[in-house]
Structure 1
Amino acid sequence: MRTKKSKQDLLNRLRTIKGHTAGIEKMISQDKDCLEILVQISAIKSSINKIGLAIVEDYAQDCIVDTIKEEGDVVKTLKDMINTTLKFNK
């Protein structure tokens, strides 16, 4: 389970992405240089990847540990995690 601090961190990152997106909209409407726009797009991609990795890390820590504690199907949980990670990395 995410701590209050880590949830806030994710929300802050999402707000940053919103800001970058709004900035890109403004840049496009003002016919700004393509390279400047691409830099902002790169920043958004990086932020999204960081958010995704944080969520995958939480999933690994929480779901797998819980499955082991509850003597659940660890193999199935690991397969699910691998599939989820592969989908995230597409």
Structure 2
Amino acid sequence: MSHTSSDKKLLARVRRLKGQLEAVERALESEAPCGEILNLVASVRGAVNGLTVELIEDHIREHVSNPETDSDKARGQGAGDLIQVIRTYLK
């Protein structure tokens, strides 16, 4: 079983995304102004980026190196640096 399958936080993010996409659908169906639809789509993009960051960070911590527990300090530091770069890049 994958470490992500029991993560309630990830499921909550996906459910929130689902709701945001449904809001985009409703806005399109009701012919809402394009500015409103663009704002909704921007929110979806931000939510997808947040989910992506969370998944990549979890993957690094589980399968590459956990900065807090790795006995190899250089590898742990490198993993921590990578996590920070990914957080910055995808925000």
* TM-score, structure 1 as length reference: 0.64
- The percent identity for this pair of structures is 20
Match of residue 51 from structure 1? 51
* TM-score, structure 2 as length reference: 0.64
Once the two structures are superposed, what CA deviation does each residue of 1:21-40 show, in whole Å capped at 9, x if it has no partner? Answer: 11111111111011111111
Match of residue 15 from structure 1? 15
Cα separation, 2, equivalents of 1:65 and 1:27:
43
Unaligned runs of 5+ in 2: 80-85
Q: Which has the higher contact order (CA 8 A, sep 6+)?
A: 1
Matched, 1:65 2:59: no
Cα separation, 2, equivalents of 1:12 and 1:37:
23
In the alignment of these two chains, the number of paired residues is 69
Runs of 4+ displaced beyond 6 Å? none
